[in-house]
Structure 1
Amino acid sequence: MKTKTLLVTLLILVVSAAVGYIYFFEKDGDTEIQKLIPANSLALITIDNVSNAIDEYSDFPWWDEAGSLPFVNALTEANTKIDSLVKAGVLQSKINENPVYVSFHLTSNNSIEPLFFIGSDGFEWLPTNIKKLANLWFNKELLFESRIFNEKLIYEAEVQQSKWGFISLGNYLVISTNSVLLEDVIRAEEDESNRLVKSEMKVDENQKGVNLLLNTDRIGRLKNVFTSSTEPSRHQLKGLINITVEPSNEGLTFNGISVTGQNLDQRLPSNAIVNVENFIPSSASFVRWFGVEEDQNASLNGFDIASFQKLQNSELCEVNIVLGANTMSQVLLSEVADVPEISKMLEDISKASRAEGDTLFTESFINNEIRFVNDAQFLGKAYGERYKKSGKPYYAFFNNVMLISDNIDALKTVLIDYDAENTWGRIPEKRRYLDNLVQEANITQLNNFEYYLDPLVNSFNPKWKAFFKDHIQLFSSFDNFNFQINEASNRLIVSAELTFNESVKGTVARNTNSDTEPVNREVGLNLVTNAYGNSKLITKPYIVKNHVNNEQEIAFQDELHQLYLVDRTGNILWKKQLEGKINGAIEQVDFYANRKLQYLIFTDSAVHLIDRNGDDVEGFPVPFNAELPVVQYSVVDYDNSKNYRYATTDRRGNVYLLSKEGEMLEGWAPKVIGSALRAAPEHVRIRGRDCFVVVETNGNVHLLNRRGEEYPGFPYNTDKRISGDYFIQQGPSFNESYIKILSEDGELLSLDFNGTVKGRNQMVKPSVSSRFIAVRDKLNTGLLTVRKDNNQFTVFDEKAQRKFDHDFKGQGDWVFEYYNFRNDSELYVAQNLATGDLVILDDQGKELFSKEAFSTNPVGILYYQNKREYELFVNFDNQMAIYTFTK
């Protein structure tokens, strides 16, 4: 996880920006205050008038969210209390209108703690008066003790389990909740070497607005504080940087320059132009641009690294993508001046590095060849220390862009999103954001918090993870953060921007139908849209994509077997009579490989392919001549070339593999498995080898190749009945890829793709009637366990740790669903499909919505982080409805 400069700067800037309207040095007191700020300060902010600052910042829509931070909240409460004491005549001076400086320090207990410097305005800070003020402040008599440090008197008192202390130095009262920090202030006053700002340094005294003095020499330690790591952190900033902050309704803008009088003596990458934006997936969590530095000393078994670097137009773009378990994988992108030449170089080292007896790895994907370099040192040697710990890389070329990554699935994600035009360069809103960046900078970083926040928080130690979880509402309101660094005349120029999403801007609910009265207010739902069929609806609402405008639409079927397509305003776009009910789901495919989507549907007797106008695609429907109708199916695209296969199963477990045109394929007509399956066959590709995972209810697990043949080690017999879903954790090899399943009696089993059991965990079964059900996240990120005990169910996490219990009543066909929407927005859904009872719970088991006899059809849920709003799609009676409810 690379928190480094971005994370450090973000945290400090957000805190400082939320505090208020500040500047660095008062003209009348700059010499004195400079002598008091310790050299180990992480950052220094100043507030010339706290009261005015709070008044000004409270007008912005994100202020309420920022106010949840303890430091900001305490400052706001202090301001209110001072005003109250002044009005009551207890205080004669409004000290909240005097200059205040705050210096932040890293302490040994993994904390970031402040020192407060409060300037006087024509009066002295007398210890007696300070003690009286403290007693008034805490509404109790504090027991003060004094101690001497370097001939200076420090006063201390135990307050709220902390050693609170103060010292009066000249015109400043210095306060800290960690009294030890006051010793650093005394050392700074006595010796310039202990000061943050040295006498030769020049800071602009006339700055106005919001400012922050950032000590970049100490920011590298923050990663260790947050993660408890002992590994040295690298960062590319040096010295003090003075940063001004400008607030707006959209967020915060930061502009800074290094303080003059410093010898920075550093080397930044050459200026890099932002020009590979069409390859940055919309789901990228972290993006970094920087110049490729030529290293004449790097060598790698005869590979010419210097020539390799020169062929890449001096620019590199690092894209980070979250792939399961909230871990990020990197893909490096660069424009190549001579594709044939650099391709030959890589092919040569691929041949030279392959293991003895191995064939040269090549995988076709979206009409491209993915190749492999069997050398774990390659990325570190070619691109520097940042990639020293990367693994063996895969690479591909698309036009004149080279993609290289030690994770083949991350590389494929970039290619898939490029092919689908789902990238930062192709989405207008995101493209405008990129266009506002400086097009040439030594370093550019961009964070997309929708995807970055979860892996960031999960990388922290328990203390800081709990802090972020407690304030997740604030951090989940972040949209994007960009950070750029330029070097000019031995000075660093820094610019950054933090934007908030719509959740803090008070926008109205999306696509609200003003002609429809809200309903179900008593249970927390608001009706947004509804549409009516000609008879009772018998399927769930299927959320589909309109390829023309990328808007969402909804498809469903009624008991007359009519298929409906409805837009989000409730307008019926068309309805079509089918000869039978829909089996399985409604999937969308790009049949003609032209980015136009069609609807794939199986009924008892036919395979249907319907275009977006409701017309049959030529050649469809195709009769489905099988002994039993299909109950489930999945769409397979081996290499993302749109040459689809349809993997189906009936209720006896017979598996049919159909061609794109709906014809049964040899060896799969059918593949007789033997008993009912837990799901349709699921396809994965490991190092170019296609695998179909097939799990029988009776406990047999199969791993089949494209010809329907078992891989070595399979079938594997668990000797137990399998319950609920299973989960495939795909890795770079068969040894590192797992099938996770759960038996009805609560045994969790992890099986690798060689048929070897890698883990067993027997869960506690309180009674004979207890039944366990595995529930896969709808976003396919993991597997939870639900235990049913009479009129209660218990939810366990992926490590089989209990999360919460919930009471439910009634027997019947209860189904459980889990939605992991990222950033602490999980939902748990329990529904009785016989009675229609429905309950929706949050991650703590708190009931967000429940209603008896609501719907006997499964529901669908979406979450919009930028609004902190859920949408519930439900079919009941002859009505399809979309409701909203808040987080």
Structure 2
Amino acid sequence: MLQKTIITASDNGETKQLWETIIKSADKLVVSLHVTKKDDFDFVYYLPVNKAKGVEAFLHSPGEKQSKISQRELNGIQINEVRFGDRVFSWTTFEDIWAASFTPFLIEDVIRTYKSDKRRTFGTTLSGVQQFPKVKNDAGNLYVNLKGISQWFVTFLQEGQISSSGQASLLDVKSTANNIILNGFSSASEDNTDELLSFFYNQSPVPFTLKQYASARALAVTSFGITDGKQLFNKLPISRNSAFLDSIRMLGDVNPEELYAGIGKELAVCYFEGRENKLSKVLMLSVSNARQWLHTIDRLAQATEKEDSLYFEQYSNHEIKEIDLVNLPEKLFKPLIHGFERTYYCQLDNTILLAERVEDLRRFLDDVEREDVWGKSVEFNQYLESTLLESNLSIYINPSRAYGYLQKQLNPKWGNVLSKPLRGELNSLSFAAIQFSSLNNSFYTNVSFILNDQKIAVQQQPSRIQANLDHRITIGPFVVVNHVTKRNEIVVQDSTYGLHYFSLDGKRLWRRNLPGKIIDRVHQVDYLSNNKLQLFFMADGKLEIIDRLGNAVSPFPVVVPNQAYDFVRVVDYDNSKRYRYLLTEKSGKLWLLDKEGKNLDGWRPRIIDGALIEAAQHHRIRGKDFILAIRKDGVVHLFNRRGEDIKGFPLNLESKPAGSYFLESGNTVATTNFVVVTKDGVKIKFNVEGKIVSREPLVKTAVDDVFALVPEKSGKSFVIVRNNSKQFELLNEQGQRILTNDFSGKNSIDVQYYDFGSGRIYYVLADVTQDLVYIYDGAGQLLTPVPVEAESITMFLDGNSVYYAASFEYQLAIQPMQN
């Protein structure tokens, strides 16, 4: 692998030949890695002098080198140099060692180190691990300066730093066709708190039991194994923060040392992709004294509350609260934990969850409830068999999910070089882990990368599946989840009102006759609150709920009070499954029905006297529920649960919005904004208090430009359409061009925007006149040079693969995308 990597990195034929000659000159080649610039690094190659004769012969042979060999001297030792293209290759000999590099000053450093009376060498750094046993006849040994490797990682990044885990590691390399495993030992100074491993001396390794809660959406999880909470407390900086400890003693009525003694062996952080190229985090703290921890945090929240009342939200069976104390998790566990400008928290069994954003905490709880977690993943549990089952510090990485974040963190130099290769390599891996386990004043170390054959197969052989119906498809496709298999399935309706249910392999599982055409869309509900999902929709003036086998759920169908609805939405205020059904007419009439389909007071109907741009929608903002309806003339209505106007509404934007809108979450009600774009090109933000926050004119490129806003399907962000008689463009939130489409002329185009994470971003442009669809990636590159024939199309994520499902006339097509 080393040979392949080095040779591939070369940029001309003669340089490749030189590297091949060096690598083949000795059975055991020694290569050292050095940071040379803020954003660059290079190698030094070492051979016994008697093994370097072939290299010397190559260097002295006539070739395409642009210069002859020259010599210079440093500290009495001769340095030889020759130029290959724009690179200078330097080499020297001393005692019985031949050393060479494409960075001349690295050879100078080698000579200075050799000549120094007081050597601070790499061997000195490794002294703590040199005595450990090595495996013979393996793929090689890797000697690691852990601080140096952290500095090396930083050369690839735009900014930031990476904490050092310890002093040094000595690892044996085991390589097969499907995996690379590095095993060995690492050293750390027990008293050097700049090294994370120093906190785990005399802590016994523990299993990763918090995997039962770790969301499958996580791109990485850092897990800390703790068996002596008191000892950990006395090593953490908080033990020396007298003022903060006094607050804990006074408010929590507890000794902080006893509080930490209740840590139930694990502390872990799940990392997710967030907005604006940032990571969002959820901290999982396993404790045996949850009541004490919650009481202490509650009292701290009361003491630091700056608003009129404490934030509290009932979400499903959980109480979510907020503590207005900046960086609380960091204060409690630094340097193991960093960040968390704000902290929302709740209890999940004997685990306390803390997150920076309440939306992140809600979604995390949803994942746990759906069992969409690593602990239930067959793939992850199979991978764990190749790792240390007990550890003190583990970093688990889902490489394919991590790609999107890593790609955005690369500096310009490495971003251009590594983006495509990095995606291919990471997508081919199932999981990766770096682990340290305390053992006899050192740390047994395991690094493992496992190849996933299934991912490679999907990448190499995307196959199109097609199903043919007897009657034309008129509604759908809709993507639904099978609660048994956790896989996605497809629902369509044909012209005879037949409802068809397909698996992803194109097999029709059942067909059911309906009394009429489905209105708007198909939803999924857990009507019986038993973690089993059913289909919910409206047809022929009736609400219908059908289970996954096609059977009606009692008491449905239920007749609704009116027959002219255009939109149907399911509202679950607090994830309690006490559903409400929000029915909307485009003319501006709103009904809200209870779970059984009965009309609720205040919504019989709620009339807003004007056509809407889209369906009325429910939003929960800092524990309060709002229903938003935006009229085409720019008048905005915002209601509470009872259908009453929120203070400040109706709000007249005095411009006509186009497309949809976007909810921009903030830390308070006042800083949470709705964003719309007007047809004539003004981006307007208004808040829940009925105040217009900003009006920003967008750049026009033609006098007939018209604009519209398109939100990402899961609400992550939005794009802006700029369209005129000659050209169709998509812009990002800042107004920068993403792509241009010249194929559709003046035809009407429907736009969909998907961000599945890990850099898997797609823009779907559907020419509704010609029934042709163009799919672009996140960089604005066209992925479908031959457009897809489709009257309706949707994209979805199943496992780790992205698909589209499209209907055209009598055909349903299901196509995996190339990752």
Structure 1 length-normalised TM: 0.81
- In structure 2, the CA distance between the partners of 1:141 and 1:582, relative to structure 1 (3 Å rule), is same
SS of 1:703's equivalent? strand
SS of 1:560's equivalent? coil
**For residue 394 of structure 1, what is the aligned residue in structure 2?**
344
Displacement of 1:505 in angstroms is: 4.0
Query: Does structure 1 retain, via aligned residues, the 8 Å contact 2:259–2:289?
Result: no
CA distance in 2, matches of 1:631, 1:774: 21
Q: Does 1:711 align with 2:646?
A: yes
- In structure 2, the CA distance between the partners of 1:780 and 1:713, relative to structure 1 (3 Å rule), is same
Deviations, residues 767-812 of structure 1 (Å, cap 9, x unaligned) = 2322223222234321112322324322222221112322113544
Letter matched to residue 498 of structure 1: F
Q: Does 1:665 align with 2:591?
A: no
Letter matched to residue 186 of structure 2: S
**For residue 618 of structure 1, what is the aligned residue in structure 2?**
554
CA distance in 2, matches of 1:831, 1:213: 55
Of 71, 86, 106 in structure 1, the residue corresponding to residue 35 of structure 2 is 106
Letter matched to residue 301 of structure 1: S
Where does the alignment leave 5 or more consecutive residues of structure 2 unmatched? 250-254
CA distance in 2, matches of 1:438, 1:812: 59
CA distance in 1, matches of 2:98, 2:764: 55
**For residue 212 of structure 2, what is the aligned residue in structure 1?**
278
Deviations, residues 250-275 of structure 1 (Å, cap 9, x unaligned) = 32111121379999896233234322
**For residue 674 of structure 1, what is the aligned residue in structure 2?**
609
Query: Does structure 2 retain, via aligned residues, the 8 Å contact 1:187–1:194?
Result: no
Deviations, residues 664-707 of structure 1 (Å, cap 9, x unaligned) = 22222322233333332333322211223333332233433222
- In structure 2, the CA distance between the partners of 1:610 and 1:325, relative to structure 1 (3 Å rule), is farther
Query: Does structure 2 retain, via aligned residues, the 8 Å contact 1:274–1:439?
Result: yes
Of 91, 104, 120 in structure 2, the residue corresponding to residue 166 of structure 1 is 91
Of 174, 183, 189 in structure 1, the residue corresponding to residue 108 of structure 2 is 183
- In structure 2, the CA distance between the partners of 1:792 and 1:361, relative to structure 1 (3 Å rule), is closer
Letter matched to residue 669 of structure 1: R
Q: Does 1:485 align with 2:436?
A: yes
Query: Does structure 1 retain, via aligned residues, the 8 Å contact 2:166–2:187?
Result: no
- In structure 2, the CA distance between the partners of 1:300 and 1:589, relative to structure 1 (3 Å rule), is farther
SS of 2:472's equivalent? coil
Of 808, 812, 819 in structure 2, the residue corresponding to residue 880 of structure 1 is 812
Q: How many residues align?
A: 790
Q: Does 1:370 align with 2:320?
A: yes
Query: Does structure 2 retain, via aligned residues, the 8 Å contact 1:576–1:614?
Result: yes
RMSD across aligned positions (CA)? 3.3
Deviations, residues 623-654 of structure 1 (Å, cap 9, x unaligned) = 2223x622223322111111112223211132
Of 65, 75, 83 in structure 2, the residue corresponding to residue 150 of structure 1 is 75
- In structure 2, the CA distance between the partners of 1:664 and 1:466, relative to structure 1 (3 Å rule), is farther
Of 362, 378, 388 in structure 2, the residue corresponding to residue 412 of structure 1 is 362
**For residue 146 of structure 2, what is the aligned residue in structure 1?**
216
SS of 1:394's equivalent? strand
Deviations, residues 544-569 of structure 1 (Å, cap 9, x unaligned) = 12223223221111112221112234
Q: Does 1:835 align with 2:770?
A: yes
Displacement of 1:144 in angstroms is: 5.2
Deviations, residues 494-550 of structure 1 (Å, cap 9, x unaligned) = 11211233466446989xxxxxxxxxxxxxx85324141x32111221121222322
CA distance in 2, matches of 1:731, 1:99: 58
CA distance in 2, matches of 1:390, 1:407: 9
- In structure 2, the CA distance between the partners of 1:114 and 1:865, relative to structure 1 (3 Å rule), is farther
CA distance in 2, matches of 1:818, 1:829: 6
- In structure 2, the CA distance between the partners of 1:305 and 1:659, relative to structure 1 (3 Å rule), is same
- In structure 2, the CA distance between the partners of 1:351 and 1:80, relative to structure 1 (3 Å rule), is closer
- In structure 2, the CA distance between the partners of 1:752 and 1:152, relative to structure 1 (3 Å rule), is farther
CA distance in 2, matches of 1:377, 1:141: 58
- In structure 2, the CA distance between the partners of 1:300 and 1:385, relative to structure 1 (3 Å rule), is farther
Letter matched to residue 583 of structure 1: I
Of 115, 139, 145 in structure 1, the residue corresponding to residue 44 of structure 2 is 115
CA distance in 2, matches of 1:194, 1:312: 40
CA distance in 2, matches of 1:756, 1:768: 30
Query: Could you tell which deviates more after superposition, 580-589 or 814-823?
Result: 814-823
Displacement of 1:859 in angstroms is: 0.8
Query: Does structure 2 retain, via aligned residues, the 8 Å contact 1:636–1:646?
Result: yes
- In structure 2, the CA distance between the partners of 1:154 and 1:283, relative to structure 1 (3 Å rule), is same
Query: Could you tell which deviates more after superposition, 261-270 or 807-816?
Result: 261-270
Query: Does structure 1 retain, via aligned residues, the 8 Å contact 2:259–2:292?
Result: no
CA distance in 2, matches of 1:176, 1:221: 20
CA distance in 1, matches of 2:73, 2:695: 61
CA distance in 1, matches of 2:386, 2:420: 33
**For residue 61 of structure 1, what is the aligned residue in structure 2?**
none
**For residue 60 of structure 2, what is the aligned residue in structure 1?**
132
Deviations, residues 805-841 of structure 1 (Å, cap 9, x unaligned) = 2211354432122232333433222222232122223
- In structure 2, the CA distance between the partners of 1:417 and 1:825, relative to structure 1 (3 Å rule), is closer
Query: Does structure 2 retain, via aligned residues, the 8 Å contact 1:604–1:629?
Result: no
CA distance in 2, matches of 1:803, 1:94: 45
* 1:358-507 → structure 2 map (5 Å cutoff): 358-376=308-326, 378-387=328-337, 389-434=339-384, 437-471=387-421, 472-502=423-453, 505-506=456-457
Query: Does structure 1 retain, via aligned residues, the 8 Å contact 2:427–2:455?
Result: no
CA distance in 2, matches of 1:738, 1:792: 31
Of 720, 741, 759 in structure 2, the residue corresponding to residue 785 of structure 1 is 720
Q: Does 1:254 align with 2:254?
A: no
Q: Does 1:730 align with 2:665?
A: yes
SS of 2:566's equivalent? strand
Letter matched to residue 225 of structure 1: T
- In structure 2, the CA distance between the partners of 1:309 and 1:161, relative to structure 1 (3 Å rule), is same
- In structure 2, the CA distance between the partners of 1:80 and 1:652, relative to structure 1 (3 Å rule), is same
Letter matched to residue 586 of structure 1: V
SS of 1:848's equivalent? coil
Where does the alignment leave 5 or more consecutive residues of structure 1 unmatched? 1-17, 20-49, 55-66, 85-90, 511-524
- In structure 2, the CA distance between the partners of 1:327 and 1:263, relative to structure 1 (3 Å rule), is closer
Query: Does structure 2 retain, via aligned residues, the 8 Å contact 1:745–1:765?
Result: no
Displacement of 1:734 in angstroms is: 1.8
CA distance in 2, matches of 1:168, 1:424: 53
Letter matched to residue 559 of structure 1: S
CA distance in 1, matches of 2:177, 2:536: 45
Displacement of 1:864 in angstroms is: 6.4
SS of 2:148's equivalent? helix
SS of 1:554's equivalent? strand
**For residue 30 of structure 1, what is the aligned residue in structure 2?**
none
Query: Does structure 1 retain, via aligned residues, the 8 Å contact 2:538–2:544?
Result: yes
Query: Does structure 1 retain, via aligned residues, the 8 Å contact 2:18–2:58?
Result: no
**For residue 64 of structure 1, what is the aligned residue in structure 2?**
none
Displacement of 1:462 in angstroms is: 3.1
- In structure 2, the CA distance between the partners of 1:643 and 1:118, relative to structure 1 (3 Å rule), is same
CA distance in 1, matches of 2:622, 2:405: 26
Query: Does structure 2 retain, via aligned residues, the 8 Å contact 1:703–1:710?
Result: yes
Letter matched to residue 394 of structure 2: T
**For residue 465 of structure 2, what is the aligned residue in structure 1?**
528
- In structure 2, the CA distance between the partners of 1:810 and 1:760, relative to structure 1 (3 Å rule), is same
**For residue 351 of structure 1, what is the aligned residue in structure 2?**
302
